[in-house]
């Protein structure tokens, strides 16, 4: 049975460890990078910085994918990507006004993470082949024909609008969670801890040590460096 918001607020809450530092740093690095990438794409004099920032974003995306396999339990895709049935039931409950306080990503949120990662990968990978036909080419533009470069450049530009739309949906969802459910999603992504009812039987997440995160990040950076420096 779904509890009302008033009933949930009456139950004592206890903060549980949820998000590890690599996950939180990745999350907050994204809006900073996206803003910087948008700004540096507006002027030909800053396109060099735009490309460098794109390499940073690609490195972080590869790291997040690796962290989704070998990272802390809450960061793993297996922990928050649920099947169509669970997503449909969650969406139906929302349509009926039934609110749930999730520990970690809810079923819809889990798939939105995958969608965002997918769109960002499309953005960074097409950027490697992009060509403004004036001053700047991506490092792998020479690998494909002119027509293919033009098509990938068009995808690169159009896909950014999809990313902005998904960011807007994400912001609205976070606000609605706070207003309608009393479920603050921002603070846990800052502190790493989320208050949950003490009677829910929630198990704290055991965080993976920082050495694994640093090793995976170094490996991803090396892969991107090899791709953009050695491959051409």
| Averaged pLDDT, 22-36 | 97
Distance of CA 22 to the CA centre of its chain: 12
Q: What is the pLDDT of residue 157?
A: 93
The Cα–Cα gap between 93 and 99 comes to 7
pLDDT digits (tens, 9 = 90+) for 42-87: 888 899 999 999 999 999 999 999 999 999 999 999 998 988 888 8
Report which of residues 9 and 211 the model is more confident about.
211
Q: How far is CA 95 from CA 2, 14, 84, 98, 99, in A?
A: 14, 29, 16, 7, 10
Flag whether pLDDT at 93 surpasses 80: no
The Cα–Cα gap between 44 and 23 comes to 33
The Cα–Cα gap between 154 and 226 comes to 26
Lowest-pLDDT choice from 5-14, 17-26, 112-121, 127-136: 5-14
pLDDT digits (tens, 9 = 90+) for 160-192: 999 999 999 999 988 887 777 777 889 999 999
pLDDT digits (tens, 9 = 90+) for 143-155: 999 999 999 999 9
| Residue located via tokens 């459910």 | 181
Flag whether pLDDT at 3 surpasses 50: no
The Cα–Cα gap between 86 and 121 comes to 26
Which burial class, exposed, middle or buried, applies to 227 when counting CB atoms under 10 A from its CB (0-12, 13-18, 19+)?
A: middle
pLDDT digits (tens, 9 = 90+) for 220-230: 999 999 999 87
Residue 175's CB: how many other CB atoms inside 10 A?
12
């Amino acid at each position: 049975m779904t509890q009302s918001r008033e009933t949930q607020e009456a139950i004592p809450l206890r903060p549980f460890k949820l998000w590890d530092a690599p996950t939180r740093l990745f999350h907050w690095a994204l809006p900073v990078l996206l803003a910087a990438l948008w700004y540096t794409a507006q002027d030909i004099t800053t396109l060099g910085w735009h490309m460098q920032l794109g390499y940073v974003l690609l490195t972080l995306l590869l790291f997040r994918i690796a962290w989704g396999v070998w990272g802390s339990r809450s960061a793993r895709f297996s922990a928050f990507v649920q099947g169509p049935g669970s997503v449909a039931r969650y969406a139906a409950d929302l349509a009926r006004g039934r609110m749930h306080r999730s520990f970690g990503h809810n079923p819809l949120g889990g798939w939105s993470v995958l969608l965002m990662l997918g769109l960002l990968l499309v953005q960074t990978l097409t950027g490697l082949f992009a060509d403004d036909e004036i001053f700047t080419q991506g490092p792998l533009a020479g690998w494909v024909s002119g027509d293919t470069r033009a098509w990938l450049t068009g995808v690169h530009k159009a896909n950014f609008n999809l990313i902005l739309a998904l960011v807007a949906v994400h912001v609205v969802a976070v606000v609605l969670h706070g207003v309608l459910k009393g479920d603050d999603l921002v603070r846990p992504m800052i502190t790493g801890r989320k208050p949950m009812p003490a009677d829910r039987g929630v198990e704290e997440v055991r965080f993976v040590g920082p050495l694994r995160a640093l090793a995976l990040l170094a490996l991803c950076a090396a892969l991107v460096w090899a791709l953009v420096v050695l491959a051409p």
